[in-house]
Structure 1
Amino acid sequence: MKLGFSWRVLVFIAPALLIYATFSALPLLDTLRLGLYSADDTGLRTFTGLANYNTILNDPQWSASFWNAMGNNLKFFAIHMLVQNPVGLLLAALLSLRNVRFAATYRTIFFLPTLLSVVIIGFVWQLILSPLWGVSERLLTLVGLGDWFAPWLGLESSALITVSLMSVWQYIGVPMMLIYAALIAIPEDIIEAAVVEGASPWRIFWQIRLPLILPTLGLVTILTFVANFNAFDLIYTVKGAVAGPNYSTDILGTLFYRTFFGYQSQVASPTMGAAVATIMFLVILVGVAVYFLAVQRKLQRFAM
């Protein structure tokens, strides 16, 4: 019986394992392998060990671009953590309150941008923020803030922040819905008991609701981390592969694209591109490992 059950389970999971191995595991392993090789002008590859990684991290020609992209990626992630997730928490808390009129409509409106194409999002926001034909300057002038307007996407000091906020606007519905689902799953008996004890809504949120959804907040954090360090499409759509101005919006995803496929004067190097992709994988792996080994354990002890 046990043997037959094992074979039946294998039959059902075999297609999923085959698809995962073909499209995820094997390409990942091949990328890790390719990063250990170097190619000459003829395309002949030779095993060089960690030479590509030493070049990326220490060679002045490569390290400046890599550390610039890494720093921008950290800023990109920080903006999402400081803006997207707190606002998502606030929206979820408001929409989970009783007797909120049109709550379903609001949830749909906030989540709708997530379903739109990144190309559409980038194009629309470029039109809105354009100094030539955009409407943002006129709207700011109508509310008395016309002096604040600037070509934010064209300035090195503000381009990354602007693109990050565009990404926040598009994906804020994801943390909102995850947190909202966690809030409405809290047993009503707990909330009613706190109300009977005379607790205010503010105290109920901070001392009851928020601690109970900490695992969900941790999940939102790690999903934000993974998504941000895999980001590429929005910046490529808005600023191109060069990630201008002057690489001020360059992140690991765009650096990998230019390195692997080549762009303008930069010659394509699949082996160096594989090394960049491997570093991206290791950064994400370390971040996820830290979360599960440190944060998740503390949350489990807190729940017990």
Structure 2
Amino acid sequence: MKKTFPWHIVIFLTPALIIYSMFSALPLLDTLRLGFYTTNDAGAHTFAGLSNYYTILFDSDWSAAFWNAMLNNVKFFAIHMLLQNPIGLLLATLFSLKGLRWARTYRTLIFLPTLLSVVIIGFIWQLILSPLWGVGEKLMEFVGMADFFAPWLGQQSTALITLALISVWQYIGIPMMLIYAALLAVPEEVLEAAYVEGASAWRIFWQIKLPLILPTLGLVTILTFVANFNAFDLIYSVKGALAGPNYSTDLLGTFFYRTFFGYQAQVGSPTMGAAVATLMFLVILLGVGVYFYAIQRKLTRYAL
């Protein structure tokens, strides 16, 4: 029988392909192209090769700010990896236990901040942690810890950590729900067989559940990496484009914003901004590539 061309597949895929090309692929390609140009005072573009990238990475006027933002991004990501994902794993494991009362209510309350606007989250936490009118000091005084209160958002040594903890609090529901869904997919017959053999709940988790959800943990890790190296909105809503104090909370996202759009005394440059965006893209691409090459291959081989 003669095979016909699957035109129905082309018809259904064409609208999505057009939308993706217009709003994602083409802007990305144009950004990559724009990073190889410079802009004069008249706004005309001149091809400059790799000069923008050399300036950002090695020129003393630019490199210090770029590497500071890069280091802050690494710290921001590390805090999420050390706190958000392990706590999400712990919560998902607890909620997957049978017989836990009010489990649905707890899951909803923990996931609820994820649905709120980052601007609202930032404003609320600014009010809570304000040393002038915030309730944070009062709450710590209530539990006898008033001496430990400090203007954490106003100190260079603690501002980035505080914002990272706020971000962890807001988005911890995402890894929790992803891991929770993976735990629910673990075959019941496997768990029942382990119980019959006399395995403890702790041993069942480490030797059965955890190996089976490793692909999901890998997915959570890569999503955390991409999200944190694209982070911008929380820093901007709380600290503005200058990411104070003294750029101690500056991330690649806020550095890109100042470079592309300009801010206060800094004049914006679309070509330099495109170069910064390209470097951000390469960092994320490198991280994703390392994950798929070094980790995902091992997980796939383990599953087989």
Q: Smaller-chain TM-score range?
A: over 0.9
TM-aligned CA deviation for residue 144 of structure 1:
1.1
Greater shift, 39-48 or 112-121, is seen at: 39-48
Name 1:287's counterpart in structure 2: 287
Give distance in 2, aligned partners of 1:3 and 1:230: 44
Give distance in 1, aligned partners of 2:28 and 2:300: 31
Give distance in 1, aligned partners of 2:203 and 2:138: 42
Name 1:18's counterpart in structure 2: 18
Pair 1:4 & 2:5 matched: yes
Give distance in 2, aligned partners of 1:208 and 1:140: 41
Instruction: Give the SS at the match of 2:267.
Output: coil
Pair 1:33 & 2:30 matched: no
Greater shift, 82-91 or 37-46, is seen at: 37-46
Deviations 1:95-137 (A, max 9, x none): 0001000111111011000000001000000000000011111
Pair 1:275 & 2:275 matched: yes
TM-aligned CA deviation for residue 180 of structure 1:
0.1
Name 1:111's counterpart in structure 2: 111
Pair 1:178 & 2:178 matched: yes
Pair 1:193 & 2:171 matched: no
Corresponding letter in the other structure for 1:15: P
Alignment of 1:43-122 (within 5 A): 43-122=43-122
Give distance in 2, aligned partners of 1:50 and 1:126: 41
Name 2:125's counterpart in structure 1: 125
Corresponding letter in the other structure for 2:261: F
TM-aligned CA deviation for residue 214 of structure 1:
0.2
Corresponding letter in the other structure for 2:102: F
Unaligned runs of 5+ in 2: none
Corresponding letter in the other structure for 1:113: P
Corresponding letter in the other structure for 1:201: A
- What is the aligned-residue RMSD (CA, Å)? 0.7
Give distance in 2, aligned partners of 1:126 and 1:83: 21
TM-aligned CA deviation for residue 41 of structure 1:
1.6
TM-score (structure 1 length as normaliser): 0.99
Greater shift, 288-297 or 51-60, is seen at: 288-297
Name 1:216's counterpart in structure 2: 216
Alignment of 1:252-271 (within 5 A): 252-271=252-271
Give distance in 1, aligned partners of 2:3 and 2:178: 38
Give distance in 2, aligned partners of 1:235 and 1:22: 29
Name 1:169's counterpart in structure 2: 169
Name 2:235's counterpart in structure 1: 235
Give distance in 1, aligned partners of 2:44 and 2:24: 26
Give distance in 2, aligned partners of 1:55 and 1:228: 25
TM-aligned CA deviation for residue 4 of structure 1:
3.2
TM-aligned CA deviation for residue 2 of structure 1:
3.7
Name 2:296's counterpart in structure 1: 296
Instruction: Give the SS at the match of 1:112.
Output: helix
Deviations 1:135-174 (A, max 9, x none): 1111111111111100000000000000000000000000
Deviations 1:213-250 (A, max 9, x none): 00000000000000001110000000000000000000
Give distance in 1, aligned partners of 2:19 and 2:182: 32
Residue 2 and residue 19 in structure 1: after superposition, are their counterparts in 2 closer, same or farther (change >3 A)? Answer: farther
Corresponding letter in the other structure for 2:111: F
TM-aligned CA deviation for residue 43 of structure 1:
1.5
Corresponding letter in the other structure for 1:133: W
Give distance in 2, aligned partners of 1:19 and 1:51: 33
Give distance in 2, aligned partners of 1:232 and 1:202: 39
Give distance in 2, aligned partners of 1:200 and 1:71: 43
Instruction: Give the SS at the match of 1:46.
Output: strand
Instruction: Give the SS at the match of 1:4.
Output: coil
Corresponding letter in the other structure for 1:183: L
TM-score (structure 2 length as normaliser): 0.99
Deviations 1:183-216 (A, max 9, x none): 0110111111111111111111111111110000
Give distance in 2, aligned partners of 1:139 and 1:294: 46
Corresponding letter in the other structure for 2:9: V
TM-aligned CA deviation for residue 3 of structure 1:
3.8
Corresponding letter in the other structure for 1:138: K
Name 1:158's counterpart in structure 2: 158
